[in-house]
Structure formats: C-alpha cells, structure tokens
Amino acid sequence: MRPPTTGAHTSWNGRLIGLVAVLVLVNFMVDTAITAPLLVLPEMLDHFGTDQAAWLNASAMLAGVMWAPLLGKSADVHGKRKVLVLTLLISCAGALLCAVAPNLWVFVPGRLVQGAAVAALFLSVAIVREVCAPRIAMVVVGIVTSGSAVLNIGSRFLTEKLAADFGFQILFLISAVVAVAMAVCVHRIVPESRITTPGRIDVGGALLLGGGLAGVLSYVSLGAEFGWFTVVPLLLLAGGVTAFARWFLVSSRKPDSLIDVRNLGTPLVLTLLVLVLSTGSYQSMLQLIPLVSDVPAGQGLGYGLAGQGALAVLLAAPGIGVMLGGPVSGVVATRIGPAATLAGGIVLGTVGTLGMFLGVSQFPAAVFFAFLLGFTVGVLGTSGFNLAGSLAPAERQGIVSSLVMVVVAIGSVVLNFVGAAVLKSTTVLAGGEPVNSGMGVFTYITIASVAFVLAAVLVFPLVRKTRASQVSSRS
C-alpha cells in the first residue's frame, strides 16, 4: 500500500529543493556523529589510555540498533518531524557528553546516547515518502541517502586537521553544533506528518528488542577482541539472546507490539535478508581496503598496494561511488521498480567484491572495484529504503524504515568483526612484525563474496514475488 499523494510533491520546486537540502545536511550530521570520530580512533585510545577499540568503534552503531525501533514507532504515532527534532537533540546531548568526558566510563555512555543519530537517516526517508508522490520519492530518497557523501569527501581532510590542532574533542563539539542547527532547520522547513497511527509506544518491547540485538552484536564485537568463550562476551550473548527471545514471544501475542512479526510479509522479510547480507559484505570490504593499502607488494605476501598510487584516490573512490549510486538508482527505480534495481545492485556488488581478489595487489583494479562497491552501496541503500517503504502502509513507514537501518547495522557489525577475527587468526611474521597473511586476506574476501552470492540467491525470488503482488493489486 502506497502513501496517499494528496498535497504531495509531484515535481521539483523551491520548497522541495529546500527540504532535500535540509535532509541531506541532517544525514551529514549522522556521519559527523557516527563515522567522523573513527578517523581519530588512535588519538582517542591514547587519550583514554585504553586498547578497547571495539567499544569506541562500535558503541554508537550498536546504540543506534537500540534506538531505531523505538524512534521509528514513535514517529508513526507522534509525527516524523517531531521525533526527528528530538533525535537530533538527543544526539547533541551525547556529543557534548563525549566532548567533556574525563574517562572512558563517561565517554562510552556519551557515544551510546549519540547513537540516536542513526535514526535521523531512516526518519528522513520516511518524511520523503510522505511528502512526495511515489515516482519522485524514489529519486529524492537516492539524493537524501547519498548526497552527504559529497560533503564527506571534503570534510575528512578538515576533520583530521581540526583534530590535530584542537584535539579530538573538537569533532564532538562540531557534531553537537550541527545537530542543534539541523534541529532548528527541520522544525522550520520540514512539514509535520499528516499521517499518524493511534496507539501507544511499547517501551518495554523496545528495550527488550534493542537490548537483545545490542547484546548479541556486542558479543560479536567483543568476542573477536577478548575471546569468544570468555566471561564478559558470553554474558552479553546470554543476556542478548534471552532479551530477544522474550521480546519475540511477547510481541507475537501483543495487539499493539512494536513490530508486528506476524504480518511482516515474505517480500519484506526477503528484502531485509538481502540487505543484511549485502551491506555487511560491503562494509567489511571497506574495512579491508586501508589494511591492504599500507602493505607493499614487495613483502611477498600475495597482496599489497603501498607505493603503487595515491592512497587518497583509493579511499575517495567508494565515496564518489556512493554519491552517484544513490541518485542513479532512484531514477532507474522509477522505470523498472525498486526490487529490480536492488537486484542490479546485488549483481554489481558481487562483481565488485570478486574483483577485489585482483584489487588487493593491483592499484588500478583496486580503485575501479572500490568505486564499483561504493556505487553498489548507494544503490543498496536507496533501493532498500524504496522497496521496504513500498511494501508498508503509510501509517507504518517509520517502523519499517527503522528495520532497514537495523539490518544494515547488524550486517555491518557482524561481517566487520568476522573479517577482523579471520585476519587476526591468520597473521604471519614479516620482518619480525605480525602482519595479515595472504591466506587471511583472500579468506576475508571469500566470506564477503559468499555473502553477496547468498544475497543474489534471495533477491531474484524477491523480484518475482514483488512483481506478482503488483499484478495482484492492479487486478
């Protein structure tokens, strides 16, 4: 069921351009909150005197998994603009806490609060689908989800310079200022939802679901670092599984549950499975690129890109691909539909991942396939949100969009840490120093490739089912 188009934008105009500009900047704020601090991860580790990179790296995204369903459901009940403003202010509070944190025990809770920023992305998508007619909404979603990549390319250099001059805390202060500025802009420019869902917010269910997911993902995050069978990771796993199982049993009987697991529908479930596999694979490959770029081929490990070309070009290639992939896939989806566009993205991603078998040792191939993978993730994000939104009624756009964000986070965390565990377990000594072995690197790429192949196996039945349901609805 598609949202009604009464009063919706059917073509480009000044108001729509202003709205898109604000939402692109909102998603740029998400990047300043989630990914920008990771550029100065070594400085943060030194400042807090810790080697717990997993907590600093994954805490905000894990918190986003907890925040997403609660804020998505709240947006359906209370209005998307209102909840987006609240999300930005929560993220601001978390950023300020991180900026003044005297130790790790204050910094990590700050990152957990700041992780609410993840919800801004899917709320932006839900707003677009409400204020735009379906055809133009597909294009606008592509711009909103990928447009911030343009700003990220330039901001990375500025981020590193500011951190070097003023300390990493300046990044969190900037994130807080941007969040407040965007909250004001959203309140003034974004219209409030015309469509809301009467009901209450199942806070208990949200805590069980978010806590369950975060517990399991924390096990994956910390198990690779501390050991899969040590006490703390196992306690997190047990707590996560228990909370998730409790949520599933209770929500399947509640009439007003956070997520109606009984009525998700096969197409939506397939969409989420495709996205968790494909986006996780892409994120793991993105993690691998800087690791192989620091190793010279002369070490004889079977891979290595150091000295073959400008590293900045290699690292910028995925960002350029994302910037182009989102809008292009939105335009293509207006002609062939989001499901077929998603299938095309899966094919491209499979080719790009397999191409990295060559790309880890040949610089031109690395740049090309890194660009192709970036283009793929632009396609996946845009098509995933467009397809999931088209499968949900207007009054459930917030919660369904949040599910897309949840599976993206799950895929990213799981495959990133699985890949890291593979590399750590296959290191060899070169020049007296432990380095990643060729076997480890190629096993890493194999795992990512298998994930994309599995996504391809699932996406084609998804295309058939989506087409069948469209034919059925027309008749």
Alpha-carbon span 17 to 67, nearest angstrom:
29
- DSSP designation for 132: B
> Is the CB of residue 188 less than 8 Å from the CB of residue 98?
no
For residue 148 the two structure tokens come to 């911030």
For residue 192 the two structure tokens come to 């409030």
- DSSP designation for 194: S
Mean pLDDT over 1-24 rounds to 76
Prediction pTM value: 0.82
Select from 1.20.1260.10, 1.20.1250.20, 2.160.20.10, 3.30.2130.10 the CATH code of 1-197. Answer: 1.20.1250.20
pLDDT at residue 14 is higher than 50: yes
> Is the CB of residue 377 less than 8 Å from the CB of residue 321?
yes
Domain-wise residue ranges, the chain: 1-197, 202-257, 260-475
Mean pLDDT, the chain, rounded, equals 83
Residue percentage of the chain with pLDDT more than 90:
27
Q: What is the pLDDT of residues 42-97, one digit of tens each?
A: 788 788 887 666 566 667 777 777 788 888 888 888 889 999 999 999 999 999 99
Q: What is the pLDDT of residues 83-122, one digit of tens each?
A: 999 999 999 999 999 999 998 889 888 988 998 888 888 8
For residue 245 the two structure tokens come to 């199982």
Distance of CA 465 to the CA centre of its chain: 26
pLDDT at residue 4 is higher than 60: no
Q: Specify which of 133-147, 302-316, 391-405 reaches the highest per-range mean pLDDT.
A: 133-147
* 428-430 and 433-435 beta bridge pairing: antiparallel
The answer to whether 1-197 and 260-475 have equal CATH topology is yes
Select from 2.40.110.10, 1.10.10.10, 1.20.1250.20, 3.90.1210.10 the CATH code of 260-475. Answer: 1.20.1250.20
Q: What is the pLDDT of residues 214-270, one digit of tens each?
A: 788 778 767 766 777 888 888 988 998 998 888 888 776 776 677 777 777 888 889
Q: What is the pLDDT of residues 158-170, one digit of tens each?
A: 777 787 788 889 8
Write down the pLDDT at residue 58. 67
For residue 67 the two structure tokens come to 């925040």
Q: What is the pLDDT of residues 329-354, one digit of tens each?
A: 999 999 999 999 999 999 999 999 99
